[in-house]
A and B are shown apart, each in its own frame.
Chain A
Amino acid sequence: MAECKGGGDRSPSSSMDSSTHPVLSTTSSGCQPARRDLSTDLHLGLSLSSASSLLAPDTKSIPSKPRNQVPLDWPPIKPFLKRTLTASARRRRTLFVKVYMEGVPIGRKLDLLLLDGYDSLLTKLCHMFKTSITYADVMEYHRRVPHEKAAYVLTYEDQDGDWMMVGDVPWEYVSSLPDKREETEDCKNG
């Protein structure tokens, strides 16, 4: 899996937003309801912001983002709704996986059970990492979108330790798996 210099122009430094994400679980295994260890999550957040500024000195600053992170009193939703949704997230089953972008030691986490399919997963990851990502049929993707620069490819490590392209296994099966999985983004030259 060769390291690639093409792919996303924008660095994952915007993923410092994860430091405003207090409900990430520290466990990435699925079935048991996650007990939230907030201290670890906050620590992750802080390391990320300093590490990413070292890793991405040539970041093109995205004009729409405020200089600071998104404020804690945003978005403007009522406390009752916020409390209800937060409590609900705590109660529900979760399936958190870690996602790493190749070359970046600090990863992101997301709950697969909040997504309804591979399309949603891609959209969310593209948003989190601010880059184009593809999965399953890379050739298909490049045939459909020939002008786009080399994208990152989404892969995962299965129980046997093999690295596999994401997308072949039906989503319903994926979201019912109890075992711990890690996914990494990889780059393929276009």
Chain B
Amino acid sequence: MTYFPEEVVEHIFSFLPSHSDRNTVSLVCKVWFPKLRVLTVKGKPHFADFNLVPPDWGGYAAPWIEAAARGCVGLEELRMKRMVVSDEGLELLARSFPRFKALVLISCEGFSTEGLADIASHCKFLRELDLQENDVEDRGPRWLSCFPDSCTSLVSLNFACIKGEVDSASLERLVAKSPNLRSLRLNRAVSVDTLSKILMHTPNLEDLGTGNLTDEFQTESYLRLTNALEKCKMLKSLSGFWDASPVCVPFIYPLCHQLTGLNLSYTPTLDYSDLTRMISRCVKLQRLWVLDCISDKGLQVVASSCKDLQELRVFPSDFYVAGYSAVTEEGLVAISSGCPKLSSLLYFCHQMTNDALITIAKNCPNFIRFRLCILEPRKPDAMTNQPLDEGFGAIVRECKGLRRLSISGLLTDKVFMYIGKYAKHLEMLSIAFAGDSDDGMMHVLNGCKNLRKLEIRDSPFGDGALLGNVAKYETMRSLWMSSCNVTLKGCEILASKMPMLNVEIMNELDGSSEMEENPGDFSKVEKLYVYRTTAGARGDAPNFVKIL
């Protein structure tokens, strides 16, 4: 491609409508790397979110930051997900890119507030510091004071996941000199009074994550808060709340009518009546994340109040008692009939029925993401005791635009037959405790033309399925299989047939030395992760990972 003038190449690319296509072509040529402005890197597999990937598996950010520091000093934005980032890495990042504007870290770990101090100190033009659900070591509140007085460019600041105290005076000063602030998410250490003071400086705020709303109830504090909130006419999205006291909820009411997004998933202290009093006022709501304390009754209120609802997530509040939740199929059926625009769902519940799923599929044919988690593995239809094959079959048949699906409950190979037959746009499929035989997985590999990510746990798929369509993995981003029936031998055959794949196996219990002594063993592989590579096996794999 080096013989083509750049202008010609750029002109050709301008015909590519989608981001992901342009992304793909941009990976082809090293010449373009120095001009890189925005870099997005994702590390660990998705199931790492659920403790299925052992610590120290990899996903280190350092090599990426170092390479960028050497090769593309024009870097302006870095987004990383499920990576291990160190304070040294953040310091290098802060010092290496003079035009750096945006750092987004999602579900990362390995760094502390000292690393953030370096970012604050040295990134003069910082617009965005967005820390989503990271595990950050708390080394004190100093970092927030490190933003120099000259830094007035902040548009988005999210430190909700920071565990420790922050200095209120520094926070107020920072907000006061950031006239462009549109999104601000505080952590639970920020008091109501500090929040009220901050909100006096943010009339253009669109997205707010509150601090703690559990102060000893002082009416004046909450009245000040209401006054301050009323000034934020642009505020559309609300989150935080933490252990909010129910008595503080009415002080939020003046905002409700303008909200399009509401995240109450960190707030187990509000019961269904507190929640419904608030949500019934949110008539423009498009996105709702809530705990199952809302109960089926509460979801009926949502269904009758929030006609524009597009995305719903209901999380389990009491996950230690196996299988218990206050929401069932009834809540979801109510939502589906009241909210026909629903396109994205994540729903944890303790039971489901085929009839309900069939009704839901008919009511909401626009699902793009449908993730259902029945808390008890392999639980059948609560009315008929049958598998839930027909219910999920209806979902994939009716929802022709479905791109992401997570299935649960008692499921046989039949559900996979339906998925392979109907889910033609499916890109990501998550399977747990499902299926009877290799046929199940084969239906998916053969039928789902657009499949990119397949993750399977605790299901009886073995070498036959693994090796049944090996060419398919070249068209996919990754395959994860844990606690299935694949053997070391099967993985070795896969690796030898497909040299452009990295076939990683993890057997924590056995240890790698035992596997080397018995090559070709038919011992079961505990965890398997397969992905495409242009660079061969990675060099930073720990002892318990073997790359075939």
Does any Cβ of A come within 8 Å of B462's Cβ?
no
Which candidate, B115-123, B167-175, B264-272, B465-473, is the interface stretch facing chain A? B264-272
B380 within 8 A of A: yes
Q: Check if A85 sits within 8 Å of B378, measured CB to CB.
A: no
A2 adjacent to chain B (CB < 8 Å):
no
Chain B stretch 302-317: residues in CB contact (< 8 A) with chain A: 315-317
CA distance A89 to B319 in the complex (A): 12
Q: How far is the CB of B511 from chain A (nearest CB, A)?
A: 20
**In chain A between 79 and 111, which residues have their CB closer than 8 angstroms to a CB of chain B?**
79-82, 84-85, 88-89, 91-92, 110
Is A176 in contact with chain B by the CB < 8 A criterion?
no
Is chain B's interface secondary structure helix, strand, loop, or mixed overall?
loop
Stretch at the interface among A25-33, A58-66, A134-142, A145-153: A58-66
Residues of B within 8 A of A17 (CB): 321-323
Q: Does B410 sit at the interface, judged by CB under 8 A? A: yes
By a CB distance below 8 angstroms, the chain B residues around A20 are: 320, 322
A72 to B324, CA, bound (A): 15
In the assembled complex, B376 has its CB within 8 A of some CB on chain A: yes
Q: How far is the CA of A123 from the CA of B321 in the complex (A)?
A: 13
Q: In the bound complex, do residue A81 and residue B315 qualify as a contact, i.e. CB atoms below 8 Å apart?
A: yes
- Known A-B contacts A116-B271, A116-B272; the reply to A78 vs B377 at CB < 8 A is no
Q: Are B52 and A88 in contact (CB under 8 A)?
A: no
A75 sits at the interface (CB 8 A)? yes
* B-contact 0/1 string along A42-65, CB 8 Å cutoff: 000000000000000000000111
Q: How many A-B residue pairs have CB under 8 A?
A: 102
Question: Considering only CB atoms and an 8 Å cut-off, how many residues of chain A contact the other chain?
Answer: 38
Residue A128 at the B interface, CB < 8 A? yes
A77 touches B50 (CB 8 A): yes
Query: Residue on B with the closest CB to A124?
Result: B324
- Bound: A66/B506 CA distance, A: 24
Interface code A8-51, partner B: CB below 8 Å = 1, 0 otherwise?
00000000011011110000000000000000000000000000
Q: Is the CB of B50 within 8 A of A64?
A: no
Kindly state whether residue A120 has any CB partner on chain B within 8 Å: yes
Q: How far is the CA of A78 from the CA of B273 in the complex (A)?
A: 26
In the complex with contacts A65-B378, A80-B135, A73-B320 CB distance below 8 A? no
A70 at interface by CB-CB < 8 Å: yes
CA distance A18 to B320 in the complex (A): 8
Decide: A76 near B432, CB < 8 A? Known: A20-B320, A64-B410, A70-B323: yes
In angstroms, Cα B293 to Cα A110, docked, is: 16
Q: Does A189 contact B (CB under 8 A)?
A: no
Residues of B near A5 (CB, < 8 A) are: none
- CB pair B318–A114 under 8 Å, yes or no, is yes
Q: Are A81 and B379 in contact (CB under 8 A)?
A: no
B51 within 8 A of A: yes
Across the interface, B50 reaches (CB within 8 A) one of A76, A85, A91, A123, namely A76
User: Number of B residues contacting the other chain (C-beta, 8 Å)?
Assistant: 47
Q: State the CA gap A73–B48 with chains docked (Å).
A: 10
Q: Which residues of B contact A69 (CB under 8 A)?
A: 322
Instruction: State A127–B134 Cα separation when bound (angstroms).
Output: 35
| Residues B107 and A78 in contact, CB atoms below 8 Å apart | yes
For A116, the chain B residues whose CB sits under 8 A away are 271-273, 293, 295
Interface residue B49 (Cβ < 8 Å from any Cβ of A): yes
Check A85–B317 contact: CB distance below 8 A.
yes
How far apart are B2's CB and chain A's nearest CB, in angstroms?
Answer: 44
The residues in B between 27 and 71 inclusive whose CB is less than 8 angstroms from any CB of A are 47, 49-52
CA distance A64 to B410 in the complex (A): 7
Residues of chain A within 8 A of B320, CB atoms compared: 20-23
What is the bound-complex CA distance between A127 and B379, given in angstroms?
14
Query: CA of A88 to CA of B135 in the docked complex: distance in angstroms?
Result: 17
When distances are taken between beta carbons in the complex, the residues of chain A under 8 Å from B271 are 116
Cα(A76)–Cα(B431), bound, Å: 11
Chain B residue contacts of A173, Cβ below 8 A = none
- Contact, CB under 8 Å: B373 / A76: yes
For B371-386 the 0/1 string (1 means CB < 8 A from A) is 0010111111000010
How distant is B482 from chain A, measured CB to nearest CB, in Å?
A: 9
Q: Are B268 and A85 in contact (CB under 8 A)?
A: yes
CB-based contact B135/A84 at 8 Å: no
Q: Are B385 and A63 in contact (CB under 8 A)?
A: yes
Contact of A70 among B265, B295, B318, B376 (CB under 8 A): B376
**Chain B positions within 8 Å of A128 at CB level:** 321, 324
Question: What are the 5 tightest A-B residue pairs by CB atom distance, in nearest-first order?
Answer: A80-B133, A17-B322, A70-B322, A64-B379, A76-B50
Instruction: Sample 16 A-B pairs with CB under 8 A, ordered by A number.
Output: A17-B321, A64-B379, A65-B376, A65-B378, A69-B322, A73-B51, A74-B50, A75-B316, A75-B319, A77-B50, A77-B319, A78-B49, A82-B319, A116-B272, A116-B293, A128-B321
6 additional contacts (CB under 8 A) given A78-B107, A85-B317? A75-B316, A76-B49, A81-B315, A88-B243, A88-B268, A128-B321
A interface residues (Cβ-Cβ under 8 A, vs B): 17-18, 20-23, 63-66, 69-82, 84-85, 88-89, 91-92, 110, 114, 116, 120, 123-124, 127-128
Give residues in B with beta carbon < 8 Å to A.
Answer: 47, 49-52, 107, 133-135, 161, 242-243, 265-266, 268-269, 271-273, 291, 293, 295, 315-324, 326, 348, 350, 373, 375-380, 385, 410, 432-433, 458
